[in-house]
Amino acid sequence: MVSKLCLDILGTSFTITVDEDESYLQKILAQYQTAVENTQSISGINDPLNVAILTGFLLCDEVNKIRRQLEEFSGKVGIEDREVQERTLRLIANLDNALKICGE
């Protein structure tokens, strides 16, 4: 699904064409506009180029922090999965042994 989105941010307007749903694009635009407003309020910077650059930097920082958290979580889940697998195999072996004993 090809959609066009008109962007009007920091005094600059342009249209992009992307292969995404329009409602998704509107959501992303709203998030970016909020990020720009937050950057302006915490930094006191008013120059549009500097605000855009700093906002991009802060968003990249946020993405990388989330990525790191996901990697840490994935590592923990991997360890837990292995433990569950090992316990399951031990239970199956115990059940096999118990069934053999009962069958004798």
- Residue 103 reports pLDDT greater than 60: no
Q: Pick 89 or 41 by higher pLDDT.
A: 41
Q: What is the pTM of this model?
A: 0.65
Q: What is the pLDDT of residue 41?
A: 96
Domain boundaries, position 31:
3-103
Top-confidence range, 4-8, 57-61, 78-82, 92-96: 57-61
Count of structural domains, the chain: 1
- Residue identified by tokens 């309020």 is 41
What SS3 string covers 35-58? Answer: HHHHHHHHHCCCCHHHHHHHHHHH
